[in-house]
Structure 1
Amino acid sequence: MVVAEIPKVTDDMVSGDAVEKEEGKPFVLFGREFSRKQVCVAGAGILCAALLIGGGAYAISHASWTGDSNVPAVSQSKDDEKQDMVLTLEVKADGWDADTSTPVIAHIEDADGEVDFYTAIAANKQVTVKVGKSGTYTVTLIPPVNADGSTYKAASSKVKAGKDDKKTNGTVITLEKVDADKVTKDDLTAIAKDVAAAVKKGDSTLTGDRGAALAKKFEDNIKKNPNADADAVEKETGKAEETAKEDKSDAKTPETSDNKKNDSGSKSDSGNNGSGNKSDSKPSGSNNSNSGSSSKKDDTPAHVHKYDIYHPAVTHTETVHHPAVTHTETVHHPAVTHTEERSICNGCGADITGNERAHAYNALMAGNKACGAYHTVYNTVTDSAAWEETVTTTDSAAWDETVTVTDSPAYYTCSCGATK
């Protein structure tokens, strides 16, 4: 081992000259000479390396201790937990009309029975139904009834709740149409009963004046079907109207709002309730209550009806046949005759036409001078007798007329659904 000799410090080393002399002297390490500058650079490098190695070791040991080596620097937002979840769906119904058809009534249920309510929605457009929490819900549809009495087969689907981000493509449920002449009396009565049951657990689209108007719309459209049992339908829809007017419901967490895609700047439109009204209501449950809570009326001011939504009359055309207008007359047909020329003997009066000479000769030979001459007569002969004929005379020919028949008269509604 080579040991470097440490210089001895003397009094003259304190002076400037001594310092300069010392700075010029090299260091001897491992048998080699190094300048002061080389020693400083080497020392700094060794110090940096030590810090890097120590810092890395600390980071590794800290990560293994906390167990959060993959945790991001920014903590996750809790907005997802607080945001109400919705069902986004679209009911497709061929032939459904927003002004004349009834709405679709959707029954929303979760698996544990904490969410259970009915809501009225428009067909052929995407809507959202607020359910409060995530999960998969059963959506059962009460089919709408059109103005001509036709309807659809009931349908049901599982729908998963998600965020109301206005961009989600909803679950599409397609209803199969049933023409009016193929709908049975029992089918129509069953729809009326389902409506009465829906109102009992309906949200604000099925309660109050709006619910009563909706029940009346179902009654009117069902009764337009010739197969309907009018008395049975009136009984069930009458129950629904009375329940709706009580303005209370056993619905749990109902809330409906339409989702218009790519229209973030517009207000949310809750859709047509089937009687031409746009619903801007909130659910009968207030403040986005948790699942299982009953609906409650809010403290908003009393609603004043404003009948400013016009619904034109529903009409159709029919062809009416007008028969010809006629009368009868009696026509007289005279007899058909002709005239014949006859020769009559002056003596005996016999008709000797064509035998005049022979008759006269024979009479003279017998001494009968009276039969020696004759005269001519003209007789009328009837070929056919006179007769009467009854004939029909047409005063105006038959014709067809196209007429317009009113199925339901024009009317006005308030935004809440009340009808005038």
Structure 2
Amino acid sequence: MRYMEENNKQAGLDPEAKTEKLEAMPADQGQADATEKLSATEIPADKPKVAKMETAERRIEKSLAKQGVEHGEGDVHDALIPLYERYEFTGAAPTQEAFAEACRNQSVGQHVKDMPKDPFRPTGKRNALIAAGCVVAAAVIIAGGAFAYSQLTKPAEPSHTTPSTATVQQKEDGKVSVKVNCDGWNADTSTPIVVSVYSGDVKDTLTSTDENTVAPDPLFTKDVEAGVETDLDDIKDNGTYTIAVTGSPILDDGTIFDLPEPQVVDFDTAKGASVEITLIAKAADQVTEADIAAAQAAAVASGADAEKVSAKASNATNKAASAQGGTVASGTANAATKSNANKTGTTIPSGNNNQQGSNTGSSTGNTTQTHQHNWVPQTTTAHHDAVYKTETSYIHHDAVYETRTVSVCVTCGAENPSLQHSKNHALNGQSDQVREVEKKVLVKNAYDEPVTKQVLVSAAYDETVTTGYKCSDCGATKSN
């Protein structure tokens, strides 16, 4: 195998030196002592079954990524090589403790040692090529045949999927928004990107693979376009919410995406949150039947055309089967994907997510008759107050006059002449005579008085508003 060839090329690792290396290795508990050189007749005829090296590596990398353990690119792979060489030559099965001792990165070694599930557990299918290669390799090393040893080849390594990511940032506009990045997604040719919003922190419930765990129904779901920040306007009440993409969109060529963990946000009217999700395409050799069925169920539950979704699911199955040698791993569904499947009638496979067993049928073959939603409008009553406008009019007030008696000087016509006035006339040789007359006198000027009043424009009324739709049969919901 390739990693044997590579190790042979290292200084001192010719066939004889490799035997010396194995002799120097500590033996795992319960296994044959690897410090003794084995003859051809001493190699165990029935070695314990273990997972393939690439399967164990994939399990460890997935666990490290989930827990955010930082490590170098070759830390896991390099530590696995001596464990699997010893297994091939002595029958000593790799163990978590042996990995911790062999790994140069102590954090990685400790993490693997503490993994609740043994990454070396068998998958139920033994690779015939590797088994045959192990027998030949052991015989070659014992016989010292370097030429035959160098001709061994390792099966192609599976590609590795970079995990999808999701982040939450606080913002001050009092809204919750979501943006889903998804390379290659097209509104016309891909299945919808469906975002589900749940009340409270239900992250652990949604991701649980316990058969007895039931996912809650979402408050609402919303189809979003890739790369577009979309406001989740239906989140109006203060509280905690869980936001998730529970089923991958499927591209026209059958590409399926890895899904990040749901995100929990706290919302109040003063502070909002921005959730950004980046979906990464999943390597075809890592896609499972459960992945495809979950993607199909999520799309159909959102109201997408079941026939078109089924065609894309078939493309995904064919693509995965081609990359996995004609079969597709069954995989395991979590509570959220099983909930969607129950609403659409899609059968979700059960079993270990890394199992490379024979395909029991494509995801489309595992579906019952597609459920047709009976969408019932969900309504509420909105009250509208009466509407008034202010109008201004004017009231005219006439001038006010009074009739008064006044004294008038006969000589000059002055009204109410003073004593000095009369003396002046006398000094000028004029007689000073005064007479009483009645005269109309202006008391108040005319004016216009403004008057405002409220005029009814529209009367108050109650309106029935549709807030969304709910299937009367399965309880699925969708927004307007």
TM-score by length of 1: 0.37
Q: Bigger radius of gyration, 1 or 2?
A: 1
Using CA pairs under 8 Å that are at least 6 residues apart, name the structure with larger relative contact order, 1 or 2: 1
